[in-house]
């Protein structure tokens, strides 16, 4: 029974890592397909240098994809991702958006379910399978 639990836990960790990577890969793909639209969205939120910030976001998201797929610097990457997702939730779907579109509240709340998973992943690490060396992966 213990071996079956270990196999299940390993599979669950790998699936979670793939899901995290897929979410950020989709985000970076949309940015790369139309960086101008991303910059416009950032500008509409009131930030200066929107094209520069759009590229910064794309680079961060690509680095997160790599970290989640490889397990490298996993715990710090999960923490950075959590802070980034909280920032995105408040900035682009926060309370100032709810009056005009109640669906924005749902989008806002969804960010926190994702953050909960990221925090859990940060605490438990990338697992021992398909993760780069112990010095890079954080908690195994």
What digits encode the pLDDT tens for the residues 26-46?
999 999 999 999 999 999 999
The structural domains of the chain, with segments of one domain joined by +, span 2-137
The mean pLDDT of 92-110, rounded to a whole number, is 86
Please tell me the predicted confidence (pLDDT) of residue 137.
44
The tokens describing 79, both together, are 């923490």
- pLDDT above 90: residue 21: yes
Helices 2-33 and 103-124, axial angle in degrees (round to 10): 130
**Any residues with CB less than 8 A from the CB of 22 and at least 6 apart, and which?**
none
What is the C-alpha separation between 58 and 14, in angstroms, rounded?
Answer: 24
Is this prediction's pTM over 0.75?
Answer: yes
């Amino acid at each position: 029974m213990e071996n079956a639990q270990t196999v299940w836990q390993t599979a669950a960790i790998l699936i979670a890592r793939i899901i995290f990577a897929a979410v950020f890969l989709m985000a970076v793909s949309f940015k790369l397909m139309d960086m101008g639209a991303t910059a416009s969205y950032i500008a509409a939120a009131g930030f200066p240098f929107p094209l520069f910030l759009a590229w910064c976001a794309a680079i961060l998201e690509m680095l997160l994809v790599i970290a989640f797929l490889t397990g490298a610097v996993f715990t710090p990457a999960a923490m950075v991702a959590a802070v980034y997702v909280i920032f995105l939730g408040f900035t682009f779907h926060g309370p100032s958006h709810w009056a005009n579109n109640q669906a924005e509240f749902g989008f806002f709340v969804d960010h926190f379910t994702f953050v909960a998973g990221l925090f859990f992943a940060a605490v438990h690490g990338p697992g021992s399978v398909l993760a780069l060396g112990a010095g890079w992966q954080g908690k195994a």
